[in-house]
Amino acid sequence: MKQFLLTVSLSIFLISFSVIFTLNFRPLYYADIKLLHISRESGLSEKQIRENYDRLIDYNSVFYKKDLKFPSLPMSEEGKIHFQDVKRIFSGLQYACIISFIIIPAGLLWKREKKDFHFLKKASVSAAVLPLLLGALVWAAGWDKAFVTFHELAFSNDYWIFDEAFDPVITILPDAFFLHCALLMAAVLILLCAVCFLAGRHLCQRKLNNIFPARPPQ
């Protein structure tokens, strides 16, 4: 049971950390401002775009307790409700990341005593399956269809369908940016899983070498 809990905790940590890292990796969006011509599409200066985006990212932090108010963009009541829903999702992921991060060190100490590190390989494989499956589904359905389906499943209302006349924030959040976020998230997760898998394999191999040491040449 302890091994299962540790494996699940590490898998949750790898996935949630990848999402949180991507959410807070602002250089990706700053690069997309130019790459996707967001200033031209929105009619806002790059400084205004950054200020509004930064406010949105700050708001999605579990430690941010104020109401969302954009520096230079109006927002409808439906838009406000949608961003509250988004914050709840990200807050849940942040709590999951924190709790799993607390559990993992205790599990590592327990596993170190037993010299059993197979959970590293199991957790990394389990976590890596997610981007592979999602990637296959997105490839089969197409990004636009997958994007819409995700929102339909994640939210109980249609407030995520913005009218730029009332919620102009949508003009600074093009679909292509979310595609770039998904790609970065998958890359970070796969990298973390690879590190965990290789670490687990190395530690397991070292244990075997200690049990069955190589014989010196005759």
pLDDT digits (tens, 9 = 90+) for 85-111: 999 999 999 999 999 998 887 777 765
Would 156 be classed as within a structural domain?
A: yes
Evaluate if residue 57 carries a pLDDT over 80.
Answer: yes
Residue 18 located in a structural domain: yes
Q: Please report whether residue 16 resides in a domain.
A: yes
Domain annotation covers residue 84: yes
Range of the domain at 51: 2-211
Q: Is the pLDDT of residue 209 over 60?
A: no
User: Tell me, what's the pLDDT at 208?
Assistant: 44
Residue 129 lies in a domain: yes
Structural domain count of the chain: 1
Per DSSP, helices labelled H in 60-165 are 77-114, 118-141, 143-154
Residue 217 lies in a domain: no
Residue 216 located in a structural domain: no
Read off the pTM.
Answer: 0.85
**Phi, psi of 90, deg, nearest 5:** -70, -35
Q: Quick check: is 66 in a domain?
A: yes
Query: What's the pLDDT tens digit per position in 58-74?
Result: 999 999 999 999 999 99
